[in-house]
Structure 1
């Protein structure tokens, strides 16, 4: 019943999963179900914000000014063979940009920062409740491993803790080298965009010439996804090699070390290109007219490029990756089953007998399933944690991320159930009372989400420049006229003038705040810069304070669990004291 598609909206039988697969697998599905449940609230808010953005698609004053700027000549976007262009040519792109980049985005980014904290705090409560029912709240994994070793061999001596500064230095240098390689791959993806835009601009097709930037962004996102697929396999091998160099004492320590390394590598593989697009690609170049040219984002800004990139990567990961993730074990199972068809006579314990017993048929059927991978559960966790990063870190640029993640997880739970029940042999059950180091990883992602969304709004978005214009330079500040939109005139205010020396009297515009004479920064630039910095500091401090307050307000352990543990301790101490007192009475009696 658990592995059926028609029960996709039904609650998971966590207790039965625990009895069959063990606590470690059951806690994964309990966490995934809880994450999906709370993700529904974030998805609903994100959808409302996105729909609200659609309502201003045609009514935004800023996009109206861009669409009506038929006489605003913009500077060429490259050094050679690039023509002048009209600002109105970017009308559609500008409307999409301001559909994403609005006041609702800022509110949603703050909401997701709080949601991430509340989700983790509520999960801690849920986990405490579950493991208390399993009587594993105070369970110690190291003690369990030592006990198992002693059961196998009473003369067993535990492996001692060891530390080598030489090995640690080598591992650190190799990790840094791998990080440099991953950052280099991100730069290569950006260079691809530059080259692709140039090639599409010179194409014979009118569509490719007009939409060169958009096509380059979309094909770059597909290439980024292919890079993620390839580098995932390489990252795993490198992480395993580094773990072997460290020589961890126990399996759990090895698993934790591997988790940290593979997450760092996968995070950079998935996000280094997005980080570069969001925070570095749109920075002005030294050639003033080309400040928003091919070496940067679209003239309307980088936030739409970020939106497109995230949308394509998430959709590809949630369609192709899930299909491959299911088809590969399914095909392997079919091939394995065909190669090992049971005959009429089957050798069991050295005797020929017909396989007619239903139990033996079931045993044979289970044996024909694919061998389980020791990292199969780890891979599921890693996939969900990377998705959690997409859902929280750049949500200011892609409000639909929680919605896509929510629908994906509904299918993910059933896909994982089908793989575990029908396609793979059962894992060796392992005890656990938490999701382990993944909890620390999720908490780190929550902090990165605050920093990332704050930087997106402060640097990538046009939210701050528009607000500075509204409350400093707009007609509303000069004329007490409430009938006019306060953002009227923002586009002309945000464009600087470049005088073309070869053609007297001719000039073009570009996005920046510079003087016409010496091209130095204007007062407006420093006002916007100070506002960006102030907003970033204020946003991050407020969000982090709210996270701390939420973490304090929501206790990690429910009162029922605390009282239950207190009652157990009280009873255990009472029994121990009674036993001690009985022994003392017996000792005194014997002496008498």
Structure 2
């Protein structure tokens, strides 16, 4: 085993301990420090007594392999844990710098003479993951076998404190983000995530305000709308909504329901949906410009992930052979089949959710509580939303396992390819998990339930749900509101409280080590040996402090991206049914940025800094969501909402039809619309008589009725669809086609109009490349 190594303390560490002040006064005299300011990496294992002999042998073998690569290993034992501090020699980083300089796709600033610790960590992380023992197992395999308990890179105390003061605190919620400082500490990948999240949050301000205006527009006409008055003042008797205990009810009972519907299903909804579709395109185009400015400043515009990986492979092993590209039609077919089966399973869960809602409505209607019995459909709808949220929690774990297994089947060439493949699969599964139920509510609920005398039933027993006369859009609104609020609120609470509570429980021992370590470097030469032992205690205190933080892995940042992209989907795809979604997203994101920052800086182990110049495959996912948003919003307005039926009634069947003015009769152009959307079922019809019992046809006031109304366009004699139904259907599809073509054209124009990069950035890259070519020519001529 390697001998315990002693090293001089860094100035940053002494500042943290209060021994040295930042202004240079009262400094303790110390010899010059030529070693790196921090260890590059730390491995943790169980002590010998608690390990199997074979595991201990593999641990020693792996450490010896690291030493063969001239990595310096410092071993410190603490009770039942063994810590290995890893430091790489400067020769490794000099090779890396040289290969970057001669590379075509990777740039290295000529004035950067010191390799930053973030780059050191990335290189050492790659070496550790690509150092196998004789039996062929690498570090990942050894971690799975519990040969090592943990691996992590250390937080830098001074920079960590600076980030906490300027960024990772709640009082900075309305301040800008120090993106360059985040990049220097966590790497470009993390910095671009926060840059994207900040830009997304900033551009949510216009749709949040407009969505609020649309909501207030509906609120302004809350009591003046003729449709609301017609519903609230109607004495129309409606058919029972379920079998057995459900009775006929009055249309006026849905007065509140109709008012809520008007808040988001109004004329402003169409314009808002078109705006959001165009906004999604402008957001992506302006993001490309915003990103270009930063990646140009960071000198990673021409960076190539595959070439960077080749450089790291050479640095790790000069005689390496790169893993070849491979493609197997058999494996691809198998993966495609598995993905299809998984999607069908998720859609099957949506069907289970439909059955749950139907059965819940029946049970609530037959229950002993009168309030629940009278509002069985609304109660079933809310219970369905809660059940959907539970499905999301369970399926998120299942989706992750399946996506990882499919990536293993593919046998991708590099980690970057694996990450891309995993991202696409995981998002696809999550998208269907979140939105399958919403698509059912938006486009199928109340449209396939049949009619009195011919209801569609599950297993020939339970009737499918139907919409209230006010429309089904309210159901979609409630579903989205419950899922979005629950997801964001509960997720944020657990995301912060669990790591914080875990850190609080582990703080006592760390504080004892800090008190002991405060005197580490105040010893004179006569006590050098004792001082050295205390220095080991200081290292151990720092390593234990990092060890007890919450673990992170390669996909930790992926979880944050997935959460925000799912939110982006909610904000854009069904925004016609939920105009307040952008406002909720804006409020959540202001909190999310600081929550993630606090968690990443103070509650979690330091992420391995990764280099990149874009957000990767997520940009393709966002563009796909933008296209889907156009289609979905067009269908929601054209098919799900009552916008088209109201339009047809106004100009074809209402008092103002065919240009006829209703001024002489003082009628509104929409007067009689609600009654026009209802059909009548007569009890003297044999099928209807068998459908409803005599008790069900008794009104709340105790009057027996011989007919009832239901929402549909059907003949009162033979229940066939009326010509008005077919006219409305034709106009619906015509609107959807027109809406999508107009919005798509606007999206293309917006994408063409906004350059993908500012002209200043393009010119800077041009002159920078010209200058490098001139320098190469001078070197050649010399």
Scaled to the shorter chain, the TM-score interval is: over 0.9
State the Cα distance separating 1:392 from its structure 2 match. Answer: 0.5
- Please give the per-residue CA displacement for 1:98-121, whole angstroms capped at 9, x wherever unaligned: 222111111111111011111100
Specify the alignment match of 2:728 in structure 1.
528
Mean Cα deviation higher: 474-483 or 549-558? 474-483
Cα contact 1:340–1:368 (8 A) shared by 2 = no
State the Cα distance separating 1:396 from its structure 2 match. Answer: 0.4
Q: How many residues align?
A: 580
State the Cα distance separating 1:357 from its structure 2 match. Answer: 9.1
Cα contact 1:355–1:361 (8 A) shared by 2 = no
State the Cα distance separating 1:356 from its structure 2 match. Answer: 10
2:435 counterpart of 1:271: yes
2:449 counterpart of 1:295: no
2:240 counterpart of 1:57: no
Specify the alignment match of 1:314 in structure 2.
484
- Measure, in 2, the Cα distance between the counterparts of 1:552 and 1:546: 10
**Gap change, CA 1:244 and 1:340, over 3 Å in 2:** farther
State the Cα distance separating 1:336 from its structure 2 match. Answer: 3.9
State the Cα distance separating 1:474 from its structure 2 match. Answer: 1.0
- Please give the per-residue CA displacement for 1:105-159, whole angstroms capped at 9, x wherever unaligned: 1111111101111110000000000000001001101000000000111111111
1:38-187 pair list within 5 angstroms: 38-70=203-235, 72-187=236-351
Specify the alignment match of 2:504 in structure 1.
334
SS in 1 for 2:741: helix
RCO higher in 1 or 2 (8 Å CA, sep ≥ 6)?
1
State the Cα distance separating 1:247 from its structure 2 match. Answer: 0.6
Cα contact 2:226–2:671 (8 A) shared by 1 = yes
State the Cα distance separating 1:198 from its structure 2 match. Answer: 1.1
- Measure, in 2, the Cα distance between the counterparts of 1:115 and 1:198: 43
Mean Cα deviation higher: 395-404 or 512-521? 512-521
SS in 2 for 1:385: helix
SS in 2 for 1:508: strand
1:219-258 pair list within 5 angstroms: 219-258=383-422
Q: Which has the larger radius of gyration?
A: 2
Specify the alignment match of 1:486 in structure 2.
669
Which residue of the other structure, out of 559, 570, 579, is the alignment partner of 2:770?
570
State the Cα distance separating 1:243 from its structure 2 match. Answer: 0.6
- Please give the per-residue CA displacement for 1:430-468, whole angstroms capped at 9, x wherever unaligned: 101000000000000101111111111111101110000
- Measure, in 2, the Cα distance between the counterparts of 1:284 and 1:183: 17
Specify the alignment match of 1:376 in structure 2.
556
- Measure, in 1, the Cα distance between the counterparts of 2:673 and 2:571: 32
**Gap change, CA 1:422 and 1:434, over 3 Å in 2:** same
- Measure, in 1, the Cα distance between the counterparts of 2:508 and 2:540: 18
**Gap change, CA 1:366 and 1:284, over 3 Å in 2:** closer
Cα contact 1:67–1:87 (8 A) shared by 2 = yes
Gaps of 5+ in 1: 584-592
2:189 counterpart of 1:8: no
Specify the alignment match of 2:141 in structure 1.
none
Cα contact 2:245–2:366 (8 A) shared by 1 = no
2:443 counterpart of 1:443: no
SS in 2 for 1:475: coil
2:369 counterpart of 1:208: no
**Gap change, CA 1:270 and 1:338, over 3 Å in 2:** farther
2:494 counterpart of 1:324: yes
Specify the alignment match of 1:495 in structure 2.
678
- Measure, in 2, the Cα distance between the counterparts of 1:24 and 1:289: 61
State the Cα distance separating 1:568 from its structure 2 match. Answer: 2.0
Q: If the length of structure 1 is used for normalisation, what is the TM-score?
A: 0.93
- Measure, in 2, the Cα distance between the counterparts of 1:84 and 1:361: 73
2:634 counterpart of 1:470: no
Mean Cα deviation higher: 210-219 or 442-451? 210-219
**Gap change, CA 1:289 and 1:397, over 3 Å in 2:** farther
Q: If the length of structure 2 is used for normalisation, what is the TM-score?
A: 0.71
Which residue of the other structure, out of 13, 28, 38, is the alignment partner of 2:193?
28
1:543-562 pair list within 5 angstroms: 543-562=743-762
Cα contact 2:438–2:479 (8 A) shared by 1 = yes
Cα contact 1:306–1:397 (8 A) shared by 2 = yes
Cα contact 2:510–2:544 (8 A) shared by 1 = no
- Measure, in 1, the Cα distance between the counterparts of 2:571 and 2:320: 47
Structure whose residues are more often helix by fraction: 1
Cα contact 1:240–1:258 (8 A) shared by 2 = yes
- Please give the per-residue CA displacement for 1:260-292, whole angstroms capped at 9, x wherever unaligned: 000001101111111111111121433346779
**Gap change, CA 1:298 and 1:353, over 3 Å in 2:** farther
Specify the alignment match of 2:105 in structure 1.
none
- Please give the per-residue CA displacement for 1:43-97, whole angstroms capped at 9, x wherever unaligned: 1111111111111222221121111111x22222234443222211211111211
- Measure, in 2, the Cα distance between the counterparts of 1:527 and 1:436: 46
